[in-house]
Amino acid sequence: MPGTEAAADRLHPLRLMAYGLPALPAAALGLPLYVFLPTVYAELGLSLTAVGTVLLLARLWDVATDPVIGTLSDRTRGRFGRRRPWLVAALPLLVPAAWMLLRPADGAGIGYLAGWSVALYLGWTMLALPHSAWGAELSDDYHERSRISAAREVALVLGTLLATGLPVALGIDGETEPAAALAVLAPLLAVGLPVAVALAVLAVPDRTGRTATAVPWRQAGALLAANRPFRRLIVAYLVNGVANGLPATLFLLFVGHVLAAPSMQGPLLFAYFLCGVLGVPAWLALARRIGKHRAWCWAMLANCAAFAWAPLLGPGDVAAFLAICVLSGLCLGADLVLPGAIQADVVDVDTAAGGGRRTGLYFAFWGMATKLALALAVGAAFPLLDLAGFRADATASGTANGPTALTVLALLYGAAPVAFKLVAVALMWRFPLDAAAQAGLRDRIRQIETPEPTEG
């Protein structure tokens, strides 16, 4: 009976929390790192061009390692499972690299930044990619996968709030003391991450569930290209990622120059992420009623309805923008949880076709799309602002940006994301994998695969 099977596949809430926990301290390597790291190393005497070049090359290295780690984790075997060993193995690399980057010694040069950045991103991939794949394999149930994805992503957002709020709580002004703000995050990672990983690997099973087939490297691209639902999902996810990346990249500039309220940047950002967490239960409930892909589409449409008003705002419209942050933040909950849960379903298409459970490989390309979306957003936004004559240092230098520059900034921040999200909605509205289709895939998988015992 479907209801009985779903109940048996449902993770206990404590195990669910334990699974998501590593994402909480790891969040310190996200937004705070992007905000403070370049400034800290520039203050050590490195040029902004050198810092930017090193960080760009490190991110390119990060993208290149995704398919390697994903495939290797798919092929890992042992009594400990195939995902949990990677989380443990990441710690001896990730924790020292994070400590050295977050608390650089006086005189740290370009080689120091480059070496530890490469180590950090490799360790991060070793942790984050198998963690995502592990979650996709914890349950074969269509709706349970949404709960598992929610546990990981909510922990990530809570970690972001903690990492951005900790310096403020300690009385550190990140704008004037970026090195101090960055340094306080090091203990959070050094202590919190090993504890979180230990709790996760001890409390949560590593359900390989079935034998996975090794795929030669030359066939990996053809395998992914043959999965039509995956192609549609990854394109929609990339397009929506650009839509989210544009306001993320331009948020500080929009609040500082269009709204002329730089002191409100922190509170507005906090409200946005907090609403992202608060919105998750509602989107999970809607997804259970109408399906994950349709709920995601409605979230994107609601986000468009809220964000379309942003280009009309001007100096002093902080209250109106707060309302936009609250509404779009509530929609963020769907963006965080539902695409990853749908990704777990498209892996079933490949498995049902006899390809084996290559969850790590699929999530590797998912990670690459995430990074590409942010790169495209940054790569498009700043050159367009430059062409419009926008100057980020205008206020500090005692000048003002002209109407054209501010209009371009407002359109890139508020109008362009709406257009990208509408494209993503068009791609996902008739997505072929709903609960019934995914149940059929599971039946086919049972017929062609030999079960393995659960790694407990």
Question: CB neighbours of 58 closer than 8 A, spacing ≥ 6?
Answer: 114, 117, 118, 120, 121
* Distance, CA of 299 to chain centre: 17
pLDDT of residue 4: 40
The C-alpha atoms of residue 278 and residue 354 are separated, in whole angstroms, by 40
- As a whole-number percent, the residues of the chain with pLDDT over 90 amount to 45
* Distance, CA of 362 to chain centre: 15
pLDDT of residue 3: 44
Question: CB neighbours of 169 closer than 8 A, spacing ≥ 6?
Answer: none
Q: How many CA atoms lie within 13 A of 132 on its CB side?
A: 29
**Could you read off the pLDDT of 188-208 as tens digits, one per residue?**
899 999 999 999 999 999 875
Q: Are the C-beta atoms of 184 and 198 separated by less than 8 Å?
A: no
Query: Above 70 in pLDDT, residue 443?
Result: yes
pLDDT band at 83 (very low <50, low <70, confident <90, very high): very high
**Total-model pTM:** 0.84
Q: What is the mean pLDDT of the chain?
A: 85
pLDDT band at 452 (very low <50, low <70, confident <90, very high): low
Where residue 354 falls (left for φ over 0; alpha for ψ -120 to 50; beta otherwise) is left
DSSP at 455: B
Q: How much of the chain is helix, strand and coil, in % rounded to 5? A: 80, 0, 20
pLDDT band at 211 (very low <50, low <70, confident <90, very high): very low
- Angle, CA 218 vertex, CA 212 and CA 220 arms, to 5°: 45
**Could you read off the pLDDT of 88-125 as tens digits, one per residue?**
999 999 999 999 988 888 778 888 988 998 999 999 99
At 141, which amino acid appears?
A: D
The region of weakest confidence among 256-260, 372-376, 434-438 is: 372-376
The C-alpha atoms of residue 85 and residue 449 are separated, in whole angstroms, by 24
Q: In 181-212, which positions are buried (b, 16+ CB within 10 angstroms) versus exposed (e)? A: bbbbbbebbbebbbebbbbbbeebbbbbbbeb
Rg of the chain over all Cα atoms, to the nearest angstrom: 22
How close are the terminal C-alpha atoms of the chain, in Å? 25
DSSP at 210: B
The C-alpha atoms of residue 367 and residue 121 are separated, in whole angstroms, by 13
pLDDT of residue 2: 42
The better pLDDT of the pair 295, 214 is held by: 295
Q: In 77-88, which positions are buried (b, 16+ CB within 10 angstroms) versus exposed (e)? A: eeeebbbbbbbb
